[in-house]
Amino acid sequence: MARDGAVQTITLNRPDKLNAFTRAVHAGLRDALKEARDPEVRAVVITGAGRGFCAGQDLTEFGEMPDVAAALRETYHPNVLAIRALEKPVLAAVNGVCAGAGLSLACACDLRIASTEAAFVPGFVGIGLVPDSGGTYFVHRLLGAPRAFQWMASNRKLSAGEAEAWGLVSEVVEADAFPARTAELAATLAAGPTRAIALTKRLFDHADTATLEEQLEHEAQLQSVAAASEDFGEGVAAFLERRAPEFRGR
């Protein structure tokens, strides 16, 4: 975990095993996401050490998992929910291969960029499992049901370029330029009006299941919250003074 100004970077760090999830990896992620709640943190990056992003569940720990559902509830679910609850943007910087619950983790984030070295593998179906850790929820929203189903029912490895063409990632960057581009994008996000960005995230999370009437009402309510922020005052003042706004995230 590293802090650079208002950006907190969380690096999954088991490079020899492509950062596959163990209990220790879950615990580290949980602590880091807790720390990311600090209001001084205005953007979070999740990435992987070495050549992988995250290969999902460590398959050698499966034996220690007599109750799979209980293990998911205890280890994966709190972290997925913590990412969605963070009131700031979370960027998945997919540096290398992601598979299984590692793919779900990337998709739980607010946006994804990929290195040319990245690849995306469903994983679950390859070992006879269903997508979990939000895999069905997020992938189906990102790709649409037909494409998501066809992909998750195969175990096809998607290249970074294909992932971009499908809209799974918003940008692909040459591997040697990837760390710098990640830092640049994270800094731009961190310099934004954090309250408004967080409220937008909340609105998007509800948009799929709301009626239009409900969503209009939700927007109106959260707009009154955004309109009470200091950053709104600064945004309007900067516009009128013809200068760039200096948002402070409150």
Which residues in this chain contact ligand LHQ in the complex, by CB under 6 A? 17-18, 20, 55-60, 65, 68, 71-72, 97, 99-101, 121, 123-124, 126-127, 129, 132
Residue 77 among the catalytic residues: yes
* CA separation for the pair 48, 50 (Å, rounded): 7
Distance of CA 196 to the CA centre of its chain: 18
Nearer to ligand LHQ, 51 or 248 (CB): 51
Nearer to ligand LHQ, 101 or 172 (CB): 101
> Phi/psi of residue 44, each to 5°?
-125, 140
Minimum Å gap between C-beta 47 and ligand LHQ is 16
The residues near 225 (Cβ < 8 Å, ≥ 6 apart) are 195, 199
Minimum Å gap between C-beta 228 and ligand LHQ is 42
Among 26, 77, 205, 218, the active-site one is 77
Residue 58 among the catalytic residues: no
Among 58, 110, 132, 231, the active-site one is 132
* CA separation for the pair 64, 181 (Å, rounded): 39
Q: Is 203 helix (H, G, I), strand (E, B) or coil?
A: helix
Minimum Å gap between C-beta 20 and ligand LHQ is 4
The CA dihedral of 136, 142, 148, 151, to the nearest 10 degrees, is: -100
Catalytic residues: 77, 132
